[in-house]
């Protein structure tokens, strides 16, 4: 493939039924929602069961996985030699009700990972909240495996969870091993390792209306992968990079991904030469300029910039807020 044949790639969201979901994606995403409570929209997925498919340009119909497999260097740059698939999964989450209390294993806890799976470190950016909304993240001081197990049994585990009242724009970093849950009324953007391994510790007595049954819990596995040395988690403090002509803040930089927020009304640069990047427009709209081609970007759009595309300009129409996701060393 000639480098010139790659360009900014757009994908339709992949909607996921969740008993705790709602209908707020109707106001965020252009693709119509199916019936039922929709809790997740997977907007960039290199998963065998739910692959993201290009929806624009000559590569329409190709999967992200297929393009990476065929053209790793052009898609991922220097990282292409070592990565067999895109290492991140990007989602929007709409929590109409509380999510289960859950925890994820780390990459190193291989005895708890199916073959080929990663652990899961993740981060949330809060997009919407309601009065009384809560995010549960981390554990209160003194919590032990024994007290958590008892809390699951008698329904008092919520008393051992650290929590805070989120506001729009808050960022929560959830390393693997951190017990967490989204409370009712919160909608977030999530970036995470490309993993679907979740151990559910407690489900608030919820019943799945499709099955009429409670969802499976994984208490012993969850306790085994929980990092009890970590206490409560508070919203991350953004690190200011620049204030003019637009506000650029580093929200999270970890060994799995980087997350930057850009806010403003003036033209700004995105992407980087030889590096893959992902843009997520969470408010406003604008025009992405790549070479001589312009691409309209609206609220809810997610754009993959292949490594060979390099740096681009983003021209806002009014005020816009864009998240830029990078890979380690990218």
Verify that 25 and 99 share a domain, yes or no. Answer: yes
Verify that 26 and 79 share a domain, yes or no. Answer: yes
Q: In this structure, is residue 230 part of a structural domain?
A: no
Q: Which of 200, 248, 261, 277 is catalytic?
A: 200
At 3 the pLDDT is 55
Verify that 45 and 96 share a domain, yes or no. Answer: yes
> Per-block average pLDDT, block size 10, for the chain (330 residues)?
79 96 96 96 97 97 96 94 94 97 98 95 98 97 97 96 98 98 98 97 93 95 96 97 97 98 98 97 98 96 97 98 90
- Tell me, what CATH number does 321's domain have? 2.60.120.10
For 91, the domain range is 3-225
Check: CB of residue 123 under 8 Å from CB of residue 171: yes
Q: In this structure, is residue 252 part of a structural domain?
A: yes
- Residue 280: which residues within 8 A CB-CB, separation 6 or more? 43, 90, 189, 301, 302, 322, 323, 324, 325
Residue 163 in tokens: 């929590």
- Residue 70: which residues within 8 A CB-CB, separation 6 or more? 1
Assess whether 18 carries a catalytic annotation: no
Specify the pTM: 0.96
Verify that 185 and 157 share a domain, yes or no. Answer: yes
Based on the structure, what is the number of domains in the chain? 2
The total of other beta-carbon atoms located within 10 Å of residue 62's CB is 16
Long-range own/partner contacts, residues 66-75 (CB < 8 A, 24 or more apart):
67/9, 67/306, 70/1, 71/1, 71/6, 73/307, 74/1, 74/3, 74/6, 74/306, 74/307, 74/308, 75/6, 75/276, 75/306, 75/307, 75/308
254 Rama class: left (phi>0) / alpha (psi -120 to 50) / beta? beta
| Sheet hosting strand 293-298, strand order edge to edge | 268-270, 312-316, 285-290, 293-298
């Amino acid at each position: 493939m000639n480098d010139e044949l790659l360009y900014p790639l757009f994908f339709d969201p992949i909607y996921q039924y969740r008993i705790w979901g709602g209908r707020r994606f109707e106001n965020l995403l252009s693709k119509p929602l199916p019936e039922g409570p929709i809790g997740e929209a997977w907007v960039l997925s290199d998963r065998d069961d739910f692959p993201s498919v290009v929806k624009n340009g000559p590569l329409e119909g190709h999967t992200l996985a297929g393009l990476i497999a065929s053209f790793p260097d052009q898609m991922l740059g220097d990282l292409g030699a070592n990565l067999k698939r895109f290492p991140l999964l990007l989602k929007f989450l709409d929590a109409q009700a509380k999510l289960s209390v859950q925890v994820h294993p780390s990459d190193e806890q291989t005895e708890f990972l199916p073959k080929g799976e990663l652990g899961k470190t993740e981060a949330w950016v809060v997009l919407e909240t309601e009065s009384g909304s809560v995010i549960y993240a981390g554990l209160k001081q003194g919590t032990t495996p024994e007290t958590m197990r008892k809390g699951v049994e008698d329904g008092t585990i919520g008393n051992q969870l650290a929590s805070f009242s989120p506001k729009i724009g808050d960022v929560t970093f959830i390393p693997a091993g951190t017990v967490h849950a989204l409370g009712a009324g919160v909608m977030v953007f999530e970036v995470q390792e490309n993993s679907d391994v979740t151990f559910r510790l407690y489900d608030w007595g919820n019943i799945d209306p499709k099955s009429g049954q409670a969802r499976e819990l994984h208490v012993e596995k969850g306790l085994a992968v929980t990092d009890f040395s970590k206490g409560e988690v508070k919203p991350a403090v953004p690190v200011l990079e620049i204030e003019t002509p637009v506000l650029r803040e580093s929200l999270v930089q970890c060994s799995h991904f980087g997350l930057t927020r850009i806010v403003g009304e003036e033209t700004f640069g995105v992407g980087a030469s030889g590096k893959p990047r992902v843009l997520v427009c969470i408010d406003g709209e604008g025009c992405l300029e790549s070479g001589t081609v312009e691409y309209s970007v609206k609220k809810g759009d997610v754009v993959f910039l292949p490594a060979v595309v390099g740096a681009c300009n983003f021209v806002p129409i009014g005020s816009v807020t864009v998240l830029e996701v990078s890979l380690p060393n990218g």
